Amino acid sequence: EAQVTQNPRYLITVTGKKLTVTCSQNMNHEYMSWYRQDPGLGLRQIYYSMNVEVTDKGDVPEGYKVSRKEKRNFPLILESPSPNQTSLYFCASRPLSGEQFFGPGTRLTVL
Amino acid sequence: SQQGEEDPQALSIQEGENATMNCSYKTSINNLQWYRQNSGRGLVHLILIRSNEREKHSGRLRVTLDTSKKSSSLLITASRAADTASYFCATAIIQGAQKLVFGQGTRLTINP
């Protein structure tokens, strides 16, 4: 089944404790993205990657890192999480031009 | 206004009625896509319309695109309670790689 998976689905952590949210897709898509969704602000892109070893900042990259060592994986790293990073996070993938497939979301709470 | 703004922000109708949602955008686009999101879940792609197309159908969905007015509409006919969700338009703009810019969505409630 074609899908984007994310883990964990739910995470409660404390300020400053490094965390990684994994993302994997099985559709051989070149393009992968991370978004955060906040009430009243819609979906905002954090980082994106056009292919292996090619990543770039989206609209709200501060406080986040990503890597793309393999085509299928695109982890999101929060080196020192802060409460303003409490949000619902989505990973997504697509071919360079076409419909986008979203993961199920990761609800992150930073205390 | 932002690229990709939906109107209305919220819509509540009776089951069986038609629901229309609108999307306006500012810059030239390659295509425009509509997505649906059930509460707290990932977005699901509904339909893609290219900049050289004016209308597209998929089941009970009808999408129109007017590039001269920089606007699109999504019509859901014969609505069902299961259509209750948030609907987002996303414009594919040329910015290096093709970038998808999402609006803030329309919250649709279908009352039984």
User: What does the pLDDT look like over A60-82, one tens digit per residue?
Assistant: 999 999 999 999 999 999 999 99
Which chain B residue is nearest to residue A104, measuring alpha carbons? Answer: B42
Question: Looking at residue B23, what is its pLDDT?
Answer: 95
The answer to whether the beta carbons of residues A75 and A57 sit under 8 Å apart is no
Tell me what percent of the residues of chain A surpass a pLDDT of 70. Answer: 100
Conformational region of residue A61, where left means phi above 0, alpha means psi within -120 to 50, and beta covers everything else: alpha
Average pLDDT, chain A: 95
Question: Looking at residue A78, what is its pLDDT?
Answer: 97
CB atoms B40 and A88 under 8 Å: yes
The answer to whether the beta carbons of residues B26 and B5 sit under 8 Å apart is no
CB atoms A97 and B42 under 8 Å: no
Rounded to whole angstroms, the Cα distance separating A77 from A69 reads: 14
The stretches in chain B having pLDDT less than 70 are 1-3, 95-97
- Average pLDDT score over residue span A47-61: 93
